[in-house]
Amino acid sequence: AKERALIGVGNVEKRSSVQRPVGASSAAGSETGGVKCPKCGKNHMLEKCVKFTSVSVGARFAEAKSFGVHYRCLTKHKGNETCPIPANEQQCQEGRSCRYCHHPLLHHQRRTKEEESSASDQMEKSYICNDSAHHLELLKVFLRGPRKTILTTALIDSGCSRTFVDEDLAKDLGLKVKTAAMILQGIHGAKNVEAARVSLDIAGLTREWYSVSNATTLKKLRIPGGEVKWADWAKDQPKFAKLPLENVSYADVRILLGQDVKELTENVCTTKVKSDDKKYVAYRCKLSWTISGPRLPSDKEAVMYCCIINDEIDHGTALLQEFRNFNSLEGLGITDKSIGLSRHETEDLEHMQNGTVVLSDGRFQIPMLWKWSGGVPPSEEQAKRRLISLQKKLRLNPRLGELYEKSIQDDEAKGYIRRLSPMEAADLRKRRHWFLPHFAVFHPDKADKCRRVLDAAARNGGVSLNSLLNTGPNLITSLLGVLVRFRCGRIAVNADVKEMFSQVAVPPADSDMLAFLWTSSVDREPDVYVNQRHVFGATCSPAVANFALREAAKRKDAAIAQIVNEAFYMDDLYWSDDNEDVVIQRSHELKTAFREACFELSKWVSNSRKVIETWPMEERASVVKELAGMDSKGKGFGRRMGLLTFACRRQGEKAKTLSEVLSILTSVFDPLGIVGPFVLKGKLIMQARLTNAEFLSEEMKNPIVMPRKHP
C-alpha cells in the first residue's frame, strides 16, 4: 500500500492553497459581511468556497472568468489599480519559474520533461483497472502548519502502518523537513528512501482539529487517477442524497492516512450507509464522510492502482538493446562528468575527512559511507546456503578448490581478513552485522590467480549491503583527460597500485558489516571471518580508495598531489614529462609517498631505458611490456617508440557465430576512438546479420562479405 504512494504519476496538479492573498487580508476581511460568494451564494470570499477550491485549476480559471473576478485577488473591482494587493506583490509566489500575476488557487504546476518521462515509465508499470475498478476512500481535509493552512485530499489506506505526507506540501506548511535515510518496507520488498518525521494538524471541512504527531514525508507523493464525482452521483441515490459527499480527485491526494491514525478514519456511527447491492459503502469518521465503491458511469478514465509488475526480463530483447547502444555514436566509451559535487557527495567527502585515522603503520582507516545506520534484516541464512553451493562447485573442481583455499589463507596472512573465535562470533551476532556471500572469479589472462569476491548486491528481505551504502563523491579523473595528458610529455611512465582497495582499513564497527562464512570441510560448522579492509564490490570502495590515494599524495607535497589528481585513472598511473631526470625523481617520490601509506606501486613501464633501469627487476612489469603485450585496461604500450597499440584477447581465433564476432568487437578497448573506423566495419556486419537475438548462437553457414558500393 505504501508503494502506491511511491509509484504514482508525477506532478499532475499542485494542491489548492486557502491562504488569503498577501496584502488583501484586511480589505477582504472587512467586506465578507457584504460580499456573497459568486460560486455558492454564501457569505464568504470566493477563495474560501469549498466548491470552488475542490475543482481543477483549469475549471477554477474558467469559473473565475465567468464570475468576472480579478485573477490575482479573486474579487470584483475595476482593473489592477484598484486591486487590494500591491502591484509589486501581484506576481505569483507559488513557483520560482512562474511569472504570471494570478492567485495561488489559479497556479498550475507544469511538469518537467524528466517528470513526464518518469510518469510515462510509471504508467507502463501499472495495472489499469477498467470496469472492475474500485474507488478508494478519499476525503477533503485541511492540513495546518506553522506557516499556513492548506486544503488537500487524503487517502485512507488501511495497508499503511503509518501516515505519509508529500514533502513539498510539508515544506509549504512551514514544517521542519530534515530528511534521513530510511528503509521503506512495501509489498514489493524494501526500498531505501530519503524521508523525514513531521508533526502537523489535520481537520475535516468542519475545521475540528486533530494532531498527527509522527507522519513521514515522501518526495512527490502522487496517486494516479482522475476526478470522482461522488456529490453528483449521490443526487440520484436516495440513500446517499442527504450525505455531505464531495467530488474528489486522485490527482489532489497529498497525504495517506495509515493505521497510526486509525482513530481518525474509523467509523464513528453505529452503522454504515450501503447501496441496495451493497457495492457502495459510505461512513462517517471524525474528519468527514467518505465512500468507496465501483467505478461511476461519469468516470472519464479508469482508476489506476499502482502495483509494479515484475515481468520476466526478455534477455533477448535486452541484448539487442545493448547492441544498439554499442552501435550508437554516443557509445564511444567516454563521458566527461566533471561537474561539482552534489550535497550528498559533499557530505560523504566531509564524512571521510572527519573520520580518517592514520594507524601506527601509516595506513589510512576510513569509514564506509552509510545511508542507514539502524537495524538490518538477518543475512546469515543466505550466506550459509550460498556457501553450501560454493562448496559443491569446489568439490567438482579440486584445482579451483585449492586456489580458493589459498586465497583465503593469503588474505588472512596479509591482515585483509580475520577469523573470529566462537566467542567473538557470538558477540558479533548480537551487534549490527551483515554476512556476505562470496564466489570465485578469474582474470582471462591469469588462469592460476583466483580472486574471492564478496557479493555486496545479495539481498535479504529486499535489502543488500550496497543498498545501505552511498556511492560517495566521484573522485575518478576523466580517462580522456588522463590519456591526453599522458601523450603530452616525451618520457612516459606507467604503473599500478597493487590491491588498492585492500590497503585501506575499515573501522571495527564496519568490519561487522563485512562478515562472511568459510570452511574447507563440509563436516563442520563454518568459521566466521570479518574483512578488516575495504572490499571489492562494495559501492563506496572506489570513492574511499581514491580519497586515500589523494590524501597520501597531499601529505607529501603539492607536485605529487597534482600528479595523483591528473594522472591516475582508478589504480593506474599514466604520466609523462619531457625531462628524464624529472620523471625518475617524481616516480620515486610518488612510490615513497604511497609506501608510507601502505600502498605499493608496481609493474613499472617506460619508453625510456634510463627510467626503466632505476627500478629493480621485481618491480618492473613482466617482459617490460613488449609492443604486443597488453595491460588490464586492454591497451598495449610500446616501451621504445612510445606507441599506443591495441590487442584483442580473441586474436587469431576464427569466429563461427555472431556471438563470437560480437565478443571480438567488444574486447577492443578504444577510449579515444582511434581504431573506430575498423571496428565500425564489424558493427556494420553485425547490423546486417543480427535481426533477432536467437541468431547469436547459430553457426554461420555462409561467409560474411561486406557489400560493395557501386558508383
Question: What is the per-residue burial (b if ≥16 Cβ within 10 Å, else e) of 246-278?
Answer: bbbbbbbbbbbbbebbeebbeeeeeeebebeee
Provide the grid cell at 120.
Answer: 510515462
H or E stretch including 609? helix 609-612
Lowest mean pLDDT among 65-79, 256-270, 481-495: 65-79
Do 174 and 76 sit in the same domain of this protein? no
Query: What 8-state DSSP symbol labels residue 58?
Result: H
Task: Give the CA count within 13 Å in the CB-facing half-sphere of 255.
Answer: 28
- Other beta carbons less than 10 A from residue 592's beta carbon: 12
* Residue pair 350/371 in contact by the 8 Å Cβ criterion: no
Q: In whole angstroms, what is the distance from residue 626 CA to residue 614 CA?
A: 18
HSE at residue 213, side-chain half, CA atoms within 13 A, is 1
Number of H helices, E strands in the chain: 21, 32
Distance separating alpha carbons of residues 231 and 241, to the nearest angstrom:
8
Separation of first and last alpha carbons in the chain = 66
At 27 the pLDDT is: 35
151 three-state secondary structure? strand
Structural domains in the chain (count): 3
**Which pTM value belongs to this model?**
0.54
Residue range 144-169: mean pLDDT, rounded: 89
The C-alpha atoms of residue 515 and residue 454 are separated, in whole angstroms, by 10
CATH number, domain with residue 149 = 2.40.70.10
Is the same domain home to 459 and 562?
Answer: yes
CB atoms within 10 A of CB 350: 11
pLDDT band at 413 (very low <50, low <70, confident <90, very high): very high
Q: Please tell me the distance from the alpha carbon of residue 27 to that of residue 29, in angstroms, as a whole number.
A: 5
Does residue 571 belong to any structural domain of this protein? Answer: yes
Please state the rounded mean pLDDT for residues 128-134: 50
Q: Which three cell numbers stand for residue 235?
A: 443526487
180 with 299, same domain: the answer is yes
Residue 562 CB partners (closer than 8 Å, separation 6+): none
Report if residue 338 sits inside a domain: no
Task: Give the mean model confidence (pLDDT) for residues 178-196.
Answer: 73
- Is there a single domain that holds both residue 85 and residue 154? no
The better pLDDT of the pair 192, 456 is held by 456
pLDDT value at residue 639: 45
Higher pLDDT, 88 or 403: 403
Same domain, 297 and 364: no
- Verify that 193 and 70 share a domain, yes or no: no
Residue 632 has pLDDT above 50, yes or no: no
Residue 59: other Cβ atoms inside 10 A:
12
Q: Which cell is 320 given?
A: 539487442
Q: What is the pLDDT of residues 349-362, one digit of tens each?
A: 999 999 999 999 99
Q: Is the dihedral of CA 216, 222, 224, 227 positive or negative?
A: positive
Picking from 594, 628, 662, the residue at the C-terminal end of a domain is 628
Alpha-carbon span 615 to 613, nearest angstrom: 5
CA gap 24, 207 in Å, rounded: 23
Distance of CA 488 to CAs 59, 562, 611, Å?
65, 16, 17
Instruction: Establish how many alpha carbons lie within 13 A of residue 486's alpha carbon, considering only the half-sphere containing its beta carbon.
Output: 25
Q: Please name which of 428, 434, 418 lies closest in space to residue 513, comparing C-alpha atoms.
A: 434
State residue 427's pLDDT score: 95
Report the alpha-carbon distance of residue 301 to residue 155 in Å, rounded: 19
- What is the per-residue pLDDT for 630? 42
Cα separations in angstroms, 311 against 120, 125, 308, 315, 692: 17, 9, 9, 12, 21
Q: Which of 628, 651, 669 corresponds to the end of one domain?
A: 628
Give the C-alpha separation, 255 to 170, whole Å: 10
pLDDT exceeds 90 at position 621? no
Give kind and range of the element (H or E) at residue 463. Answer: strand 463-464
pLDDT, position 579: 93
Calpha distance 668→688 (Å, rounded): 21
The grid cell for 52 is 470552488
Query: Cα–Cα distance between 495 and 512 in angstroms, integer?
Result: 34
Q: End of a domain among 628, 655, 679?
A: 628
Q: Is residue 304 part of a domain?
A: yes
SS3 breakdown of the chain: % helix, strand, coil, rounded to 5? 35, 20, 45
**DSSP three-state, residue 340:** coil
pLDDT, mean of residues 92-103? 62
Specify if 677 maps to a domain. no
Instruction: Give the per-residue pLDDT at 16.
Output: 37
Tens of pLDDT along 205-240?
A: 888 899 998 899 988 888 877 888 888 888 888 888
Indicate if 153 and 233 belong to the same structural domain.
Answer: yes
Residue identified by cell 487590494 is 84
The strand pairing partners of 486, in sequence order, are none
Q: What proportion of the chain, given as a percentage, has pLDDT over 90?
A: 32
CA torsion sign for 624, 629, 632, 638 is positive
Does some domain include residue 248?
yes
Task: Give the confidence band of 691 by pLDDT, cuts at 50, 70, 90.
Answer: low
- The boundaries of the domain holding residue 404 are 356-628
Residue 11 in domain = no
- Say if residue 157 is in the same domain as residue 220: yes
Residue 23 belongs to some domain of the structure: no
Helix (H, G, I), strand (E, B) or coil at 265: helix
Quote the pLDDT of residue 220: 84
Using the Cα atoms of residue 450, residue 454, residue 459 and residue 460 in order, give the sign of their dihedral: positive
**Residue carrying the nine cell digits 511511491:** 6
Strand 568-569 relative to strand 463-464, pairing: unpaired
Instruction: Specify whether the CB–CB gap between 699 and 342 falls below 8 A.
Output: no
| 178 and 64 both lie in a single domain | no
151 lies in the same domain as 236: yes
Residue 434 lies in a domain: yes
In terms of domains, do 511 and 391 share one?
Answer: yes
Q: What DSSP letter does each residue of 488-546 carry, written as one string?
A: TSSEEEEEEETTSGGGSB--HHHHGGGEEEE-S-TTSPPEEEEESB--TT-TTHHHHHH
Check pLDDT > 50 for residue 167.
yes
Could you give the CA distance from residue 434 to residue 530 in angstroms, rounded to a whole number? Answer: 10
Question: Which amino acid is located at 41 in the chain?
Answer: G
> What are the CA-CA distances from residue 217 to residues 137, 195, 354, 498, 628 (Å)?
21, 5, 30, 46, 59
- Give yes or no: residues 583 and 444 share one domain: yes
- Arithmetic mean of pLDDT, 423-442: 93
Report CA 236 to chain centroid distance, whole Å. Answer: 49
Q: Tell me what the pLDDT averaged over the chain comes to.
A: 77
Confidence band for 87, pLDDT divided at 50, 70 and 90: low
Residue 439 — left, alpha, or beta (φ > 0 → left; ψ -120 to 50 → alpha)? beta
pLDDT category, 304, cuts 50, 70, 90?
Answer: very low
Q: For 204-320, list the strands marked E by DSSP.
A: 209-218, 227-228, 248-249, 253-257, 273-274, 281-284, 289-294, 304-305
CATH number at residue 413: 3.10.10.10
